[in-house]
Chain A
Amino acid sequence: MTDITEHALLMPDARTKARNAAERRFRAYGLSAIVIALAALVWLLISIFSAGLPAFQQTFITFPVTLEAATLDKSGKLDIEEMKKVTTIGYGKLIAQAFEAEIAAKGITHEVKPKQLAEMISEQAGAQLRDMVLADPALVGQTITFQALANGRIDGYFKGRVTMETAARDKNTSPEKLALADQLRDAGVVAVKFNTGFLTMSDASDKRPEAAGLGVAIIGSLYMVVIVLFLALPIGVAASVYLEEFAPKNYWTDLIEVNIANLAAVPSIVYGILGLAIFINFAGLPQSAPIVGGLVLTLMTLPRIIIPTRAALKAVPPSIRDAALGVGASKLQTVTHHVLPLAMPGILTGTIIGLAQALGETAPLLLIGMVAFVKDFPGLPPEGLFSPSSALPVQIYNWTQRGDPGFVERASGAIIVLLVFLILMNTAAIILRRKYERRW
C-alpha cells in the first residue's frame, strides 16, 4: 500500500484552487446582490412604516363644554340660518373657556399663560363643534363631553416628534405647554387614541396637520379607478381580441402592435401633458376633476391591459377554437362563447395589476391640476366626477410640500393606506391566478 494522500490527482493544484475560489466569489456576488435588493426593500418599508404608523393615532383632549344659548343662538328660535352666523371663532372662545375651567376643576397648577391655553387645542376644534351643533341644534343649552383634537405640537410630543428642547426653540409651542400636557394626560383629560379621522376627514390647511385626513383623496382615487375599470377593461379586451383573433398580419396591424408596445413604455408624465392639452385645454373639461384623471389614467393603463390580455388569449389552445368552428359557430361566437371565458382569469389578473399601477400614479395627475387644495367632498357620480377632488398619491405629494413636520407623518401614513390598497388588489390578482389558471 502506497501513501496516496500526496498524489497529485487528489491534491488540488494552485490553478484549481484559484478557479474554485473564483467560483465561490462569483456565487457570493450573486447572493450579495440579492441581499442588497431585499435589504433595500426592507429598509424602504421599515422607514415608511415607522414614520407613518403614528398617523393612525391622534391625541385628543376630552372635556365638558357648555353650549350656551346666549352666544350660540341669540334669537332663541333654534333657526339654523340664524345659528350659522356664529363663526368658528365664536365656538373657539367657548371651547377655550371650557378648557380653562376644566384645568381649574382638576386642580392642576401650571405655568402656561391663560391666553395661550387655547393654543393647545387644534384650531380645527371650533369648526368641529360648530358642525356638531348645526347638525343637531337641540344640543344648544346642554353641557356635552367634547373630544377636541390636540394641537399638532402637543400630538407630536406624545409621539416623540417634539421634545422639550425643540419646543424651547419653537414659537408655536413651549416647554410649559408640554409639561401641562403631561399633567393633563395623568389626569385623563388628554389621551392618544386611534384616529378614524385620518381616513374620513378632508385635507386641512398648512397650520393644522392634526386635522388633515384622506377622505377626499380616497373618494377621488376610487372614482378614478372605477372610471379606468369601466373604460380600459372593455376597450382593452376589444382591442386585444381584434389584434389576437381577427387582425390580418399586415403592415397596419404591425404598426398598431409596435405602437402599443411603445405606449406601455412612454413616461407617465407625457400622459399628463396629453391630458392637459386635449382634455382640459381643448375639450374644456374642468381641472382637478376625477373624470379627467380617470381618462388620462385610462389611456395610460390601456396598453398595460392589452399586453397581458393578448398573452391570455394566446394561451388558449387552438383546438378549442377548431372545435367551436367545427360545430358551426361563427368566429365571433367562438371568441365570445369559448375563448374569452377561458382567458378571463388571465385578463382579470392583468386588469387588476394595471388598475393597481393606475392607483399609484402621481405625475400625470399633478399636471391636470389635482394638486390643488380641496376641502369639500366631491358629490355622488355623475356630477361628482366633474367637481374638484384629490387622489391618494397626489395628496401624499401635497403633504410633502408643506412646512409643518407633522405632515411628513401624515404623508407616510397615507402611503401605508395606499400600500394596503395595492396589497389587497395584488393579492386578489394572485388568488385569481392560482385558483383559475389553467395549464393546457
Chain B
Amino acid sequence: MSLGLLFLILLALCTAGYMIARSRAVTSARGDTRVLHSLPAFHGRFAALAMILPAVAILIVWLVVESFALRGVALSHLSPEDVPDGASMDLVMADVTRIAEGLGKLQAAGVDLAPLTADPAALKARFSEAGFAQGGDPTPHTIAAAVSMRDTAATSRLALSVVAIAASLAGLGLVLRRITPEFRARNATEFVSMGLLIGASLIAVLTTVGIVASLASETIRFFQLYPAWDFFFSADWNPKFGGGSSLGIWPLIWGTLYVSVIALLVAVPVGLFSAVYLAEYASKRTRGIVKPLIEILAGIPTIVYGLFALVTVGPLLRDWIAIPMGFGNSSSSVMTAGLVMGIMVIPFVSSLSDDIINAVPQSLRDGSLGLGATPSETIRQVVLPAALPGIVGAVLLAASRAIGETMIVVLGAGAAAQLSLNPFEAMTTVTVKIVSQLTGDTEFNSPETLVAFALGLTLFVLTLMLNIIALIIVRKYREQYE
C-alpha cells in the first residue's frame, strides 16, 4: 500500500470520526446541545485529532526505523568479499538500492521477475534495455540483498498500514467512550492545538540546532583528516583531488573581505546619502515613488546580479580600466564583484537608515533649526550623531549580507585563491569555494569535500557575530527614543 493511499484512508477515517463523535455528543445531550460543556464540533475535532496525531507519529517513527532496518536486511546478505577493490560498502549499497528500484519499476510494468533475479546477466541486460541507471554489475549476492530488501519493505508497509489504521481507530474508541455532556472537549482540543503551535515555533530552534550540528560534526571529521592549525594559519589554498592538498583559509577570507569592503564603499555613501535625502529633503510624493524603486534592488534575485557582473560589468571594467591602466586582463575580478554587490546592498543600507533617521525625534531638529543652523548642518551635527548607532547597525547587517553572498562572487569574482592587493585581479571567496567543493560528484570522506563544512561553519560564525552585534545595537537604539 503506498503512503499516499494510506494517508487518504487516514483522512477519510478522521472525517468519519469527526461526524461520529459530533453526533454522539448531540445524542449524549438528548438533542439539547445547551447542556453540553463544549459545542458538538469540539467533540468532533477532538476525535479527529486523537485519530490523526498518533497515526502520523507512528508513521514518521516507523519510516525512520524502517530505513535502518532495510539497510540491516540488505547487509546481512552481503559479506566483505562483495565489495570490489577500491569501492566502499556504501557504493555496493547504492547498487542494491538501484537494483531494488529497478525491480520495482519492472514489476509495475508487469514483467515476471523470477527469471531475472536468478540470472545477473539477464537482469543487467533487461535494465540497460529499460534505460535504468546502473552502478557496478549485479552479483547473486547484491540481487539477493535487493530482493530481500523489497520483500521486507513490502511486509513493513503492510504492517505499517495495519498499525496506523488500528491506532487511529483505537483513538476514536477512546474518545467515544469519554463523550458525555460534561466532557470538556473544547479545553482538550485547545490543549492539543497549543502543543502543535509550540511545536511549530520550535522548528526555528531545530533549524539552528540542525545547522550547527551538521556543520560542527562534519567540521570535526575534517579536522581529523586535516590539521586545524594548517587550515586556520596557512596562506595557501590548493586543493588536489587525490590527496596532498593545502587548504589554508586565509586567501579565501582575504578575498571575501576585499569584495565586501569594496561593496560597502559603494553602498554606504550611496545608501546613506539617499536615505538622508529621502528622509529630510524629499517631498512626500518623491519619497513615495523613489523609496520603492530603490527597494526593487533588494528584491532582484542575486543570480541576476551575477549575470550582470559576468556579462556587462566585468568586460566593461576590463576593457576600459584594467587593460588601459595595466592592472591585468581578467574580466572576473574583486572590483567587478564588489561593485555589483555594492549595488545590491544599497537598499539594505538606505532602508534601515531611513527608518532610523525618521525615528530621531522632530524636537531635536526643531531645536537645531531654531538656533539658526541650516538643514544640512542640522543633519550633520544633530540628526546623524543621534542616529549613528542605528546606522552602524545597518552597515553591519549590510556587511553580513555581503560576506554571505554567493552567486555574485561565483560569477563575478573568479576562482583563483590568492592574496593580492590588485582589485582588478580574480580572487575567490569562502562562499565560492563552498560551492565548488560541494557541487558535482562528491565523496564525503575526503578532506577536499569536508573542508566545505569547515568553511560553512566559519561563514556562519562570522555572519552570526555581525548580526548579533547589529541587532543589539539597533535594538538598544530603538528603545532610546520610544
Q: Do A and B bind each other?
A: yes
Residue A260 contacts which of B204, B270, B452 (CB distance < 8 angstroms)? Answer: B204
Residue B406 contacts which of A31, A265, A269 (CB distance < 8 angstroms)? Answer: A269
A145 in contact (CB, < 8 A): no
A382 to B2, CA, bound (A): 11
A320 in contact (CB, < 8 A): no
A277 in contact (CB, < 8 A): yes
Whether A239 contacts B201 by the Cβ 8 Å rule is yes
Whether A400 contacts B310 by the Cβ 8 Å rule is yes
Known: A239-B197, A270-B404, A359-B301. 7 other contacts (CB 8 A): A33-B274, A34-B274, A235-B203, A262-B471, A267-B405, A268-B406, A362-B407
A43 to B300, CA, bound (A): 13
Whether A270 contacts B297 by the Cβ 8 Å rule is no
- Asked if A396 meets B303 with Cβ closer than 8 Å, knowing A33-B270, A266-B404, the reply is yes
Instruction: Please choose the segment from A103-111, A171-179, A418-426 that sits at the chain B interface, where 4 or more of its residues have CB less than 8 A away.
Output: A418-426
- Measured between beta carbons, the chain B residues less than 8 angstroms from A281 are 444
Whether B376 contacts A360 by the Cβ 8 Å rule is no
A247 in contact (CB, < 8 A): yes
Residue A22 contacts which of B205, B299, B374, B431 (CB distance < 8 angstroms)? Answer: B374
Distance (whole angstroms) from the CB of B348 to the closest CB of chain A? 10
Whether A393 contacts B379 by the Cβ 8 Å rule is no
Whether B270 contacts A37 by the Cβ 8 Å rule is yes
In the assembled complex, 25 residue pairs joining A and B whose CB atoms fall closer than 8 Å, in A order, are A30-B273, A30-B274, A30-B276, A32-B273, A34-B273, A34-B290, A41-B296, A44-B308, A44-B343, A259-B208, A261-B467, A266-B463, A268-B406, A271-B211, A273-B453, A278-B214, A281-B444, A332-B194, A356-B299, A360-B300, A362-B301, A362-B407, A363-B406, A366-B435, A397-B303
A362 to B410, CA, bound (A): 11
- Measured between beta carbons, the chain A residues less than 8 angstroms from B202 are 256
B366 in contact (CB, < 8 A): no
A26 to B456, CA, bound (A): 42
Residue B210 contacts which of A25, A47, A278, A284 (CB distance < 8 angstroms)? Answer: A278
Distance (whole angstroms) from the CB of A280 to the closest CB of chain B? 10
A43 to B294, CA, bound (A): 13
Whether A48 contacts B434 by the Cβ 8 Å rule is no
- Chain A, residue nearest B3 (CB): A382
- Measured between beta carbons, the chain A residues less than 8 angstroms from B411 are 397, 400
Whether B404 contacts A247 by the Cβ 8 Å rule is no
> Per-residue CB proximity of B306-320 to A under 8 Å, as 1/0?
111011100000000
B281 in contact (CB, < 8 A): yes
- Asked if A40 meets B346 with Cβ closer than 8 Å, knowing A31-B277, A269-B435, A330-B190, the reply is yes
- Measured between beta carbons, the chain B residues less than 8 angstroms from A259 are 204-205, 208
A434 in contact (CB, < 8 A): no
Whether A412 contacts B311 by the Cβ 8 Å rule is yes
- Asked if A261 meets B471 with Cβ closer than 8 Å, knowing A33-B277, A37-B297, A40-B346, the reply is yes
A27 to B379, CA, bound (A): 11
- Measured between beta carbons, the chain B residues less than 8 angstroms from A363 are 302, 406-407, 410, 431, 435
- Measured between beta carbons, the chain A residues less than 8 angstroms from B471 are 258, 261-262
Whether B304 contacts A419 by the Cβ 8 Å rule is yes
Whether B397 contacts A302 by the Cβ 8 Å rule is no
Residue B307 contacts which of A235, A238, A274, A400 (CB distance < 8 angstroms)? Answer: A400
Whether B301 contacts A360 by the Cβ 8 Å rule is yes
> Per-residue CB proximity of B163-200 to A under 8 Å, as 1/0?
00000000000000000000000110010011011111
Q: Which of A19, A25, A269, A360 has the most CB of B within 10 A?
A: A269
Q: Which of A236, A267, A415 has the most CB of B within 10 A?
A: A267
- Asked if A277 meets B218 with Cβ closer than 8 Å, knowing A48-B304, A262-B468, A362-B301, the reply is yes
- Asked if A268 meets B311 with Cβ closer than 8 Å, knowing A23-B376, A33-B270, the reply is no
Whether B211 contacts A274 by the Cβ 8 Å rule is yes
- Measured between beta carbons, the chain B residues less than 8 angstroms from A48 are 304, 307-308
A20 to B377, CA, bound (A): 10
B158 in contact (CB, < 8 A): no
A242 in contact (CB, < 8 A): yes
Distance (whole angstroms) from the CB of B277 to the closest CB of chain A? 3
Whether B431 contacts A269 by the Cβ 8 Å rule is yes
- Measured between beta carbons, the chain B residues less than 8 angstroms from A274 are 207, 210-211, 214-215
A273 to B203, CA, bound (A): 18
Task: Tell me what chain B mostly uses at the interface: helix, strand, loop, or mixed.
Answer: helix
- Asked if A397 meets B407 with Cβ closer than 8 Å, knowing A44-B304, A265-B463, the reply is yes
- Asked if A242 meets B204 with Cβ closer than 8 Å, knowing A269-B406, A360-B303, the reply is no
A259 to B212, CA, bound (A): 12
Interface residues in A223-243 by Cβ distance below 8 A to B read 234-236, 238-239, 241-243
> Per-residue CB proximity of B55-71 to A under 8 Å, as 1/0?
00000000000010000
A419 to B200, CA, bound (A): 32
- Asked if A243 meets B201 with Cβ closer than 8 Å, knowing A30-B281, A44-B305, A400-B306, the reply is yes
- Chain B, residue nearest A30 (CB): B277
> Per-residue CB proximity of B114-147 to A under 8 Å, as 1/0?
0000000000000000000000000000000000
Distance (whole angstroms) from the CB of B144 to the closest CB of chain A? 21
B403 in contact (CB, < 8 A): yes
- Measured between beta carbons, the chain A residues less than 8 angstroms from B312 are 43, 47
- Asked if A408 meets B376 with Cβ closer than 8 Å, knowing A235-B200, A239-B200, A367-B438, the reply is no
A236 to B214, CA, bound (A): 23
Whether A273 contacts B343 by the Cβ 8 Å rule is no
Whether A20 contacts B210 by the Cβ 8 Å rule is no
- Measured between beta carbons, the chain A residues less than 8 angstroms from B301 are 359-362, 393, 418, 422
A255 in contact (CB, < 8 A): yes
A26 to B281, CA, bound (A): 11
Whether A41 contacts B304 by the Cβ 8 Å rule is no
A148 in contact (CB, < 8 A): no
Distance (whole angstroms) from the CB of B41 to the closest CB of chain A? 11
Residue A267 contacts which of B194, B272, B406 (CB distance < 8 angstroms)? Answer: B406
Whether A262 contacts B208 by the Cβ 8 Å rule is yes
Residue A306 contacts which of B204, B294, B453 (CB distance < 8 angstroms)? Answer: B204
- Measured between beta carbons, the chain A residues less than 8 angstroms from B288 are none
Distance (whole angstroms) from the CB of A9 to the closest CB of chain B? 14
Distance (whole angstroms) from the CB of B81 to the closest CB of chain A? 25
Distance (whole angstroms) from the CB of B209 to the closest CB of chain A? 10
B269 in contact (CB, < 8 A): yes
Q: Which 3 A-B pairs have the closest CB atoms?
A: A267-B404, A360-B301, A30-B277
Whether A330 contacts B186 by the Cβ 8 Å rule is yes
Q: Which of A236, A238, A271, A361 has the most CB of B within 10 A?
A: A238
A330 to B189, CA, bound (A): 11
- Measured between beta carbons, the chain B residues less than 8 angstroms from A26 are 375-376, 379-380
